[in-house]
Structure 1
Amino acid sequence: MSTWVPGADGSLFDVDNLPYGVFSRPGEEPRVGVRIGDFVVDLAPIAAAEMLDVHHVFQERSLNPLMAEGRQVRESVRRWVTGLLTDETERDLVEPSLLPLADLTMHLPVEVADYVDFYASLDHATNVGRIFRPDGEALLPNWRHLPVGYHGRAGTVVPSGTPVVRPRGQRPGPEGPTYGASRRLDIEAELGFVVGVGSTIGTPVSYDAFADHVFGVVGLNDWSARDIQAWEYVPLGPFLGKSFATSISHWVTPVEALSAAWVDLPGQEPEPLPYLGPGATQGLDIDVEVALNGEVVSRPPYRSMYWSPAQMLAHLTVNGASLRTGDLYGSGTISGPEPDQRGSFLEIGWGADGTFLEDGDEVVLRYTAPGTGGGRIALGQVIGRVEPART
C-alpha cells in the first residue's frame, strides 16, 4: 500500500506507521495530528468535514480523549487515516491540512496520569547487581519471579527536547552525606507504554487484555542521578534520584503499527506464576540507538528483555490498582548481553566506574522496528541536553 504524500513512500514514517502527536502553529491552540513522512495531518478539520462521530477528540490539547475511546475507535480511526493518505481521490480534501513538520511546535502528547517504571532487562539487572554488589549475588531472589518496579512522578514527565537540569540532593561520602549537584548523572534508554482505557479499582487486568488497554508506545529516557539514588534507595527504592525528569518522544506509535514486531522473548526460568501467564511472553523487536553528542555509543535490543509488556501490565494491576487514561509505564533500562548493547552510562563506562554526563551533553535515543509493509518504521526519538544545576 503506497501513499500519495510526497517523500513519505518508503520512509521510516510511511503509511504503515502513522504515529499520533500534539502540535501547534504560531498563534493557534495545540491539537492532535498524525505524522506521515515529513508532514503532519491536521485531523480536526478533516474529521469535522466528514462528520466523524469522534471529530471533537482531534481538537484537544492531548491524546487522552482519543485514547479513552478504546480499541475499536482506535482501529477505526487508523483505517480512516490510512484511507485518506492512500486514496488519490482524498487528496484534495487532505492537502490543505497537510502541514510541514518543520513549521510546527510539538508538545507533550499525553496528559500523564501515573508513571511507573520497571526493571525488566535481565542483562541490565545483572550488570547493575555486579557493579553495586561485586561480592554478592547479582540478582536479588525476587527478580525472576516478578517484574520489579517503582512508582515515579507523573508531573516531571517532559517531551523530547526539554532541557534536563542537573538535580541536587544528598550524596554519599566517606564521612557521611553531602549536599550538592549530582556528579553521576545518567540515562536509561527505555520503551514506554501509554494506557488508553482505564480499569476499575479492585479488578486486576489480565495479561491477555494488553491491546484493550494500551494505546501505543513512546521512546523514554528515565534520567537518573546515580549518586543520589545510591544513598536514598535503601530500603524503599528510587525517589529523588529519578523524579527530577523523565523524557518521552513527541510521537505515540499505536500498537497496530507494531503488529509485525512481536517476537518471543528469550525465555523465563522458573515459569512465572499463572497471573503472569506463559501466553504473555512476547516482546517487541525494536532496535535502539544511544547517541552522545552526535556519536552512537550503544545499540540496545528490546527483543532481549526478560519481562514482557503484557506481564508488566498484569503485575501493575494484580493487587487491584486501577489504570487511568494517560498512565505511562516504562520498561526499565534496555540492555543486551554484549558490551555495545548497554542502555545506561553506568554500564557503558563500567571499567571506569561509570561514564557520567557533563553539563552541555546531549543524549539522543532513536528507535526502529519492523513495519507491516515489509520495511522499517521509526518510533519518536527522545532528545535531552543537560543544563547546570540551579540554586
Structure 2
Amino acid sequence: METWVDVPEGSGFGVENLPYGVFSRRGGPPRVGVAIGDRVLDLAGLAEAGLLTDRGWFAAGTLNSFMSAGRPVWQATRERLTALLTGPEHRGRVEPHLVPLSDADLRLPFDVADYVDFYSSRDHATNVGRIFRPNAEPLPPNWLHLPIGYHGRAGTVVPSGTPVVRPCGQRRSEDGPVFGPSLKLDIEAEVGFVVGVPSALGQPVPTAGFRDHVFGFVLVNDWSARDIQAWEYQPLGPFLGKSFATSISPWVVPLAALESARTAPPPQDPEPLPYLRCDEPWGLDLTLRIELNGHVVSHPPFATMYWTAPQQLAHATVNGAALRTGDLMASGTVSGPERDQRGCLIELTRDGREPLELPDGRRRAYLEDGDTVRIQATASGPGGAPIGFGEVTGTVLPASR
C-alpha cells in the first residue's frame, strides 16, 4: 500500500502497521493516536472533524475503552484509517491532525489490569536453570507440559523512558542473608500481548479465541534483581526481585499488522494436552535488538519461543480465571541458542563470570547506575515492509536508601 504521508525508509511505522498509543502535545490533554512515519495521527482530532467514528474512545488517556470495543470495531477503524492515509482525496482534511513525534509526549498506552509473566523460551529456561540449579536438571519436570508463569505487580508497569531505581532487598551472603541494594540488576527482553475484550469468570478462553480477545503486542523489559530473586524464589517463585519495575513500549502493534509475521513455532514434544493445541501457527518471526549504553549486545529471535501467545492465554484462563481489559501477559525472556541471541545479562555473562566487553572499553557483568538499556523489535509485514514496535528504554538510578 502507498500512503501520501512521507514515511522515512525503514521507519517500521508505515501504513501496514498503524500501532496505537496515547500522547499529548506539550501541556495538552492526553488522546489516542496511531504512529505513521515520524508523526502521530490524532484520532480524537479526526473524530472531532467527522472523519472517524468515536464513542468516547479517542479523547481519552488510555486505550482501554477502545480495546474493549472488540474485534469488529478494531477492524473497521483500521480499514478507515488505512483509507484516510492512502486516499489522496483525504489529505487536505487529515494532514492537520498529524503531529510530529518530536512534539508529542508518549504515555503509558493502557491501564494495566493484571500482569502475568511467562517463561516460554526453552533456551532461556535451560540456561538459567543451569545457573540457578547447577546440580539438577535445568528444566523442571512440568516445563514441557505447560506454559509456566507468575503474577507480577500491575502497579509497577511503567512507560518507556521511565528511570528505574535500583531495588533493595534481601540477598544471600557467606554470612547469611543481608539487606541492601541489588548487586545483580538485570534486564529481560520480552514481547507481551494486551487483552482487549474481557471474559466471564468460570469460562476458559480456548486458543481459537485468541483473536477475539487480544488487541495487540508490545515490547517489555522485565527488570530483574537476580540476587534478590535467587534468595526468594523457592518455593513460590519470583516476588521482590521482579516487582519493582516492568517497562513497556508506548505503541501497541495490532494483531492485524502481524499476520505476515506468523510462523510455525518449534515442535512441541510431548504433544500438549488438548486445551493447549492450536489449529494454526502462532509463532511470530520477530527480531529483537538489545543495546546497552548505545552498544548492541544481542539480537534475540522471537520465532524460537517454545510456548506461543494463544497457548499462554488458554493456560491462564483454563481454570476459569476471567480476563479483564488491560491484562498484560509477557512472553518471558526471549533467547536463542547462540551467545549473541540471549535476552538477559545473566545469560550473556554467565552470571557475571564472563563479563561483556563493550566497544568503549567498559565491562559489564550486571547493570551499573547510569546505564541505559534500549530494546527494539521488527517484524516483516506485507511485501516485506518492516513492522516496527518502537522501543522500550530505561536508565538505572541509584538505590533510594
TM-score range, shorter chain: over 0.9
Q: What residue identity is the alignment partner of 1:362? A: T
1:70 is matched with which residue? 70
How big is the alpha-carbon RMSD for the aligned residues of Structure 1 and Structure 2?
A: 1.2
Identify the residue that residue 376 of structure 1 maps to in structure 2. Answer: 386
Deviates more, 1:4-13 or 1:304-313: 4-13
8 Å Cα contact 1:16/1:373 also seen in 2: no
Q: Which amino acid aligns with 2:100?
A: P
- Offset from partner CA, 1:258-316 (integer Å, 9 cap, x none): 01000001110100000001426521000000110001000000000000110000000
TM-score normalized by the length of structure 1: 0.98
Q: Is the contact between residue 207 and residue 278 of structure 2 (CA under 8 Å) also seen in structure 1?
A: no
* Pairing 1:154–2:140 present: no
Partner of 1:267: 267
CA separation of 1:227 and 1:150: change in aligned 2, threshold 3 A: same
For the pair 1:242 / 2:242, whether they are aligned, the reply is yes
Helix, strand or coil at the partner of 2:266: coil
Aligned length: 391
**Distance in 2 between residues matched to 1:209 and 1:119, nearest whole Å:** 22
Question: What is the correspondence of 1:17-166 to structure 2 with a 5 Å cutoff?
Answer: 17-50=17-50, 52-166=52-166
- Give runs of aligned pairs for residues 203-352 of structure 1, distance below 5 A: 203-279=203-279, 281-350=281-350, 352=352
**Aligned 8 A contact 2:247 2:394 in 1:** yes
Give unmatched runs, 5+ long, in structure 1.
none
Q: Which residue of 1 aligns with 2:12?
A: 12
In 2: Cα distance, 1:209 partner to 1:2 partner: 32
In the alignment, residue 102 of structure 1 is paired with which amino acid?
S
Distance across 1 between alignment mates of 2:11 and 2:237: 42
Matched residues in 2 for 1:35 and 1:118: separation?
28
Comparing 9-18 with 132-141, greater Cα deviation is found at: 9-18
Between stretches 365-374 and 7-16, larger displacement belongs to 7-16
Q: What whole-Å deviation, never above 9, does each CA across 1:97-139 have from its counterpart, x for those lacking one?
A: 1110001111000000000000000000000111112221111
Q: How many Å separate the matches in 1 of 2:266 and 2:379?
A: 18
Q: Which amino acid aligns with 1:105?
A: D
Distance, in Å, in 1 between the alignment partners of 2:96 and 2:383 is 27
Quick one: percent identity of the two aligned structures? 60
Distance 1:80 1:72, change over 3 A: same
> Quick one: structure 1 residues 338 and 95, their matched pair in 2 at CA, closer, same or farther if it must change by over 3 Å?
same
Q: 2: distance between equivalents of 1:34 and 1:352? A: 41
Task: Compute the displacement of 1:204 (Å).
Answer: 0.3
In 1, the alpha carbon distance for the partners of 2:25 and 2:376 equals 25
After alignment, is 205-214 or 129-138 more displaced? 129-138
**Matched residue type, 1:335:** S
1:177 — aligned with what?
177
Aligned-pair CA distance for 1:95: 1.0
Contact 1:159 1:247 in 2 (8 A): yes
Normalized against structure 2, the TM-score is what? 0.95
Tell me if the contact between 2:52 and 2:80 (Cα under 8 Å) persists in the aligned partners: no
Amino acid in structure 1 at the alignment position of 2:43: L
Distance 1:31 1:266 in 2: 40
* Deviation by residue 1:163-195 (Cα, 9 ceiling, x = unmatched): 000000001111210000000000000001010
The alpha-carbon distance between structure 1 residues 10 and 384, as it changes in their structure 2 partners (threshold 3 A), is closer
Assess if the C-alpha contact under 8 Å between 2:346 and 2:352 holds in 1. Answer: no
Q: 1:53 offset after TM fit, Å?
A: 4.1
Q: Which amino acid aligns with 1:265?
A: P
Separation in 2, partners of 1:309, 1:222: 17
Residue 52 of structure 1, CA deviation = 4.3
* Aligned-pair CA distance for 1:56: 2.0
Query: Within 1, Cα distance between the matches of 2:51 and 2:309?
Result: 36
Q: 2:180 corresponds to which letter in structure 1?
A: G
Assess if the C-alpha contact under 8 Å between 1:280 and 1:310 holds in 2.
no
Q: Secondary structure of 2:176's match?
A: coil
Corresponding residue SS for 1:142:
coil
Can you list the C-alpha shifts for 1:61-98, whole angstroms capped at 9, x where unaligned? 00001100000100110001111111011011111111
Give the conservation status (yes or no) of the 8 Å contact 1:8–1:36: no
| 8 A contact 1:68–1:325 mirrored in 2 | yes
Describe the shift of the 1:365–1:9 C-alpha distance in structure 2 as closer, same or farther (beyond 3 A).
closer
Aligned to 1:363: 373
- Deviations along 1:19-68, one digit per CA (max 9) or x if unpaired, are 11100012211110011000011111212322644342110100001100
Give the SS at the match of 1:216. Answer: strand
Shift of 1:353: 3.1
Contact 2:207-2:277 within 8 A present in 1 as well: yes
Question: 1:279 is paired with a residue of what secondary structure?
Answer: coil
The DSSP-based 3-state class of the residue aligned with 2:346 is: helix
Partner of 1:386: 396
- For the Cα contact (< 8 Å) 1:346–1:353, is it kept in 2? no
